[in-house]
A and B are shown apart, each in its own frame.
Chain A
């Protein structure tokens, strides 16, 4: 039991995809202009991650080593396309706010990273938990980054006004602010990890 908890927990703090592994920066920087966007992107990625980890651990013995990367990418791309179609059909609000970033989940390194490093070597339950942990870790990081950018840039948090927008630093909503905020967050998380 403890082993499974460790696998699950690893993705959240010790091996956080964004703050520690620095994977999936494109989606991280691009979608976190608000906390809500970050949350939705995180959940979408987590869903694909859990599904692809599950399927890849199921088929790991049927895939010869030399073709494993294309095979994994096909699996991941399939799930992402399914997700995109479903979002398009039944979640128009999500589609409007994430748009192009949903298909870009395919090239998110976390997915192939977890598939290659974990799911292709471990059992179904472990892979499922690993995907869930990494997905939650990714979502956590995106929400944290999105919330700090939204708060600093527009004075809002999840759309609720905290202080007047006129005092916000617009820079944080724009691309350069994403890099600055991410840098500080990584520094803070590193500090916390060293202390504990």
Chain B
């Protein structure tokens, strides 16, 4: 029997009327990767945020190695031996890599109030080298590095002091395959050293592969703790959703003809440093997939088609000859776009759900006097929020209160309300649980059948294979291959063209 590292006892947390965590109790052992899974809003992140001091605890206890811990911020949590790697960016611009790694712990380099920058940089570089991240320079501004490398800096920051518990909160969704492998390596190392990883992920195959034990939460309530070895993906889904996930997950049809009618034609599009000489046609009723490594340039394709790229060369034209060179033209001509970076580029966080949904459709929501009609806006927002079954109190609630999946539903509701004909969806299911994913897949299928055309950009190969009529694979800014929908298509045939 393994030794218990952390006891979670009768933990509760409420936000207003929402009971985010309700009387949750379970144990986490030493030397294990303990996955925490559940749908969006199930309370996983709330629980770990309380453990790491980001949220306060309403009631209940965390007992770490027999002693109650109650950190008030991340630094106190670190002092107790607990650290966290968050889903989004956790490093601070304007500081060096070394300053980021030791933020809140500078005192060890401070003598008589003066910080020894040289010693700090040397120490940080030593750590980076130990982790095999030699190419990252401790003295450089962290701004000089891309998202992936900054995540690596976070790995060092969260683990260098050998913490007893490392929380990894949906970090893998933001990483490319190489980044994930790097993270897995360190998860295994932490476990081998007898410490514990609390691993939050929506990727169930990944959870089964990487974890020893899995605890399932649903709507803030503890459901079960199971051994990964005894579990299947379907079994986990059942525990998470509370019933069998019935019906098709992806679309089930094969062998359908793609319409000959071209709705958008992309010719020789180049965005310096990102994509080169890209040409393709999007057909009516087609789901066209773009796959590749995170840095392959595929995310720029979406921006280019929406008129949102800078210094774009080449042309994007619609069937009627309209050239799409800027965002207003794109929206006027019924093109919708959802960004991979949902929080920063898609939703207006500190605005209501209603405002977010109405934003591109304001012209149609005016009253007789040409002023915005409150009544029309409310009705419009309600209609499409309900159609997308957004989990909310009402449409006046701020988007910042919603979980990732519900934010995405708001974004989609916005474009469905606009009745867009061409949808460019960049990573539409990123960090979203299976139930909402299924909703989104079904919505896409329905739209396709209604003659809408969809460009789907995704790092999840399975969903590309499951949903697309055609998949274009990107490598180093160029299209490296085209694959047609087929039941025989598997991940390996895509990966072969990606790397």
A binds B: no
